Structure 1
Amino acid sequence: MLIPELPDYLTSLGGEDYKGLIISLFTLTAGLSRPFSGRLTDRIGRVPVMAFGSLVCFVCGFFYPIVTTVYPFLFLRLVHGFSTGFKPTGTAAYIADIVPINRRGEAMGMHGLLGGLGMAFGPALGSWIADTFSINVLFYVSSMFALISIAILYNIKETLPKTHQEKFTINSLKIKREDMFDPMVLPAAIVIFLTSFSFGSIVTLTPDLSKSIGLKNKGFYFLVYTLASLFIRVVAGKFSDKNGRISVLRWGCMTLLVAMTLTTFASNIYIFVAAAIFFGLGMGVVSPITQAWTVDLCEEENRGRALATMYISLEAGIGLGALFSAWIYQNDASRFPIAFASMGSLTILALIYLYSPKIRRMKAND
């Protein structure tokens, strides 16, 4: 809900040159908190980790109207990142616990479908609320949705076996080297890292691109691409359960390349919409299949750590993509093409990696 309106809001505070940090700071904290969320997910439980993520989101919505200068705003974005650092890690581990292995891709696709509905209507709804009421009302409504999430989690049964559960103490937050990274899921981490640069550029620059082609609702691109991703998520997940993750990921990367090429040349509404559709199809494949692949590659007792590793890579790619694309853009509409093309080119590396000898051998043994 907040993403499309934050660039203009930051500009109104005098921080026009810091737009890239809106996403980068958020993903920085999310990435740094992943080892903690992964460790706690495997030791304390899935539900408490999910609840903490939602709680942070709830609280931060009330602080946005209070901060009226650039640096407190950026610090709040840093804090807000804890919500994404915790909630998805616990959620993905919970889903992996409750579904059979032969339907894991389908389940991750369904997870993405429901999350996609929020990503589809949230940005458009957020822009409408800000335009109709005010930006502060938008912040409060975002908190309300987070509160509903907390209420739902209150009645969810914990899936981490009691024999694995520990009581939370300060020692629970002590991170060891092995908690930082799961080498078994490196292939999935590499693919999601390289493809996430595109996403970072999209969430940072498309609000300004929307304005440049005459669209008032800065969440329109997000609405179109997410709606396009909804159906493909479940279909791709089921297909990967039968035919393997790697083949499906290759097609996802190819589609993402088409999307970034179209976005690079999006000078009117028609190319803009086509780009959003292809982006939705590409990310609708890459995101859930990478999650399922991560769970496939890891050991069952380390699901939290493995998913945290994957999400660290995801957020590193998004954060760097946001930072570099904003640096290339420099609030100059003529620089949109080079910004999108540069970030999209990293997907080519992901595709090359998916055809590398190492991955070919993995596919042969799949």
Structure 2
Amino acid sequence: MSKKNIGPMAILFIIQFLVMVGFGIVVPILPFLVSKLGGGAFALGVFMSAYSIMQFFFAPVWGKLSDRIGRRPVILIGLLGYGVTFLMFGMVNNLYILIVLRALAGIVSSATLPTAMAYLADITEGADRAKGMGMIGAAMGMGMIFGPALGGFLGEYSFSLPFFVAGGLALLLLPFTWFFLPESLKEMNKGSGRKRARLTPQVLKDPLFFLFAFNFTLNFTMSMFESTFALLAAAKVGFGPTDMGITFAIMGIFAVIVQGGLIGKLVKTFGDAKLVNTGALLCAVGLSLIIISADDKSIVFLIASTVIFMVGNSLMVPTSSSLVSKQSNRGQGASLGLFQSFASLGRILGPVTGGALFALYMGLPYMTGAAILVLVVILAGRKISIKVSEPLVQD
């Protein structure tokens, strides 16, 4: 990777790390906070879905805007909005206002991830692009290691404190980003007449739709896992909050190892498309093993199964993002915005579906997720491999 890109890469790494710390820092306290304010499981589901619903609609808007005015201003807007909304979270004690604020947070935070990916796509190419996407994934994985641990610690003192810390971190990063993150989009490319990214049925005909479908499936199965695993582990092996924190920390460590250290070498050896398909199959294997290990009441086997699932996830995320940026014909920001919207759609439908299936049978969300992943590989995996073997479409 070019030396001139190291500085911007470091800033993007810190941004995504802090964004995910802010996301993870509230995970341990959300159920208790919602309960304290008089809400139940349904209110918690609405609270979680509000964020993803807004991301679904606004990620393409931010991506398109970054193609028009540049990456840097959109990232700054995202950071400012992220910090302000989290500070407001800490000041509010009304459940309905919190849900509105959560929706607002989803709108502004969706400016950061797709725009950061588009920024990387501007300054990298080839295997370096997948490596850069992997570093962003590693930053997010590290954030999910430190965030929940920090949130659990701070939540012992006050439910508001984690929100203040998360918001404060984002606002502290704002001037640093303002002064040291240069614009990556060339002036000649701003506002160019590229195809607009619209969430209409026409997206089914998009050459990148199969990658969008992969991202939807990945996030759909991941959110089913996230929304039911604590209940499954508590019922089967007696896990509590501390055990869950340790489990997610272990998963985060493996995500960092794969995305931060291995993905560049793996892409050079096997290529993006093979890793996308392999990652999906590993996710399916991990979900299947989670059911078996939970029924056997084996804690070590259960944690190992979640690690397999996370390794598969870590292979899919950076490589599929890299493929989208390489094959984009509408502007990288716009395409990555659409890509992120399909992730948000998966996170909207996943918790609801997972909860309904879990009520029928505890293992059903995992069986369903594994089956869907295998089906997507069968239907779309070969088309992705064929597509990426064709000459790349240049922006």
TM range (shorter): 0.7 to 0.9
Percent sequence identity over matched residues? Answer: 22
2:272 to 221, 232, 245: 245
Q: Does 1:353 align with 2:376?
A: no
CA contact (8 A) 1:249 1:289 kept: yes
CA contact (8 A) 2:60 2:334 kept: yes
Q: 1:240-275 CA deviation, whole Å, 9 max, x = no partner?
A: 244321211121111111221233343453233113
* Counterpart position of 1:11: 35
CA offset at residue 229 of structure 1? 1.2
Q: Does 1:294 align with 2:324?
A: yes
* Counterpart position of 1:55: 80
CA contact (8 A) 1:108 1:237 kept: no
CA offset at residue 151 of structure 1? 3.0
* Counterpart position of 2:21: none
Change (3 A) 1:73 1:343: farther
The count of corresponding residues between Structure 1 and Structure 2 is 351
Task: Return the alpha-carbon distance in structure 1 between the equivalents of residues 348 and 137 of structure 2.
Answer: 21
CA contact (8 A) 1:119 1:226 kept: yes
CA contact (8 A) 1:25 1:81 kept: yes
CA contact (8 A) 1:90 1:304 kept: yes
Change (3 A) 1:140 1:206: farther
Q: Which moved more, 1:183-192 or 1:85-94?
A: 183-192
Residue 112 of structure 2 aligns to a residue in which SS?
helix
Residue 93 of structure 2 aligns to a residue in which SS?
coil
Q: Which moved more, 1:336-345 or 1:112-121?
A: 336-345
Q: Does 1:141 align with 2:165?
A: yes
CA contact (8 A) 2:127 2:264 kept: no
Task: Return the alpha-carbon distance in structure 1 between the equivalents of residues 83 and 137 of structure 2.
Answer: 22
Task: Return the alpha-carbon distance in structure 2 between the equivalents of residues 245 and 322 of structure 1.
Answer: 29
Task: Return the alpha-carbon distance in structure 1 between the equivalents of residues 264 and 215 of structure 2.
Answer: 16
Change (3 A) 1:14 1:207: farther
* 1:67-82 equivalence runs, <5 A: 67-82=92-107
Task: Return the alpha-carbon distance in structure 2 between the equivalents of residues 239 and 43 of structure 1.
Answer: 34
* 1:169-188 equivalence runs, <5 A: 178-180=196-198, 183-188=206-211
* 1:1-366 equivalence runs, <5 A: 1-18=25-42, 19-131=44-156, 133-154=157-178, 155-165=180-190, 178-180=196-198, 183-209=206-232, 211-212=234-235, 213-217=238-242, 218-233=244-259, 234-265=261-292, 266=294, 267-299=297-329, 302-329=331-358, 335-356=361-382, 358-362=383-387, 365=390
Task: Return the alpha-carbon distance in structure 1 between the equivalents of residues 233 and 167 of structure 2.
Answer: 26
Task: Return the alpha-carbon distance in structure 2 between the equivalents of residues 35 and 246 of structure 1.
Answer: 24
TM-score w.r.t. length of structure 2: 0.81
CA offset at residue 140 of structure 1? 0.7
CA contact (8 A) 1:123 1:220 kept: no
Task: Return the alpha-carbon distance in structure 1 between the equivalents of residues 92 and 142 of structure 2.
Answer: 30
Unaligned runs of 5+ in 2: 1-24
Change (3 A) 1:284 1:207: same
One-letter code aligned to 1:312: S
Unaligned runs of 5+ in 1: 167-175
CA offset at residue 210 of structure 1? 5.2
Task: Return the alpha-carbon distance in structure 2 between the equivalents of residues 359 and 109 of structure 1.
Answer: 19
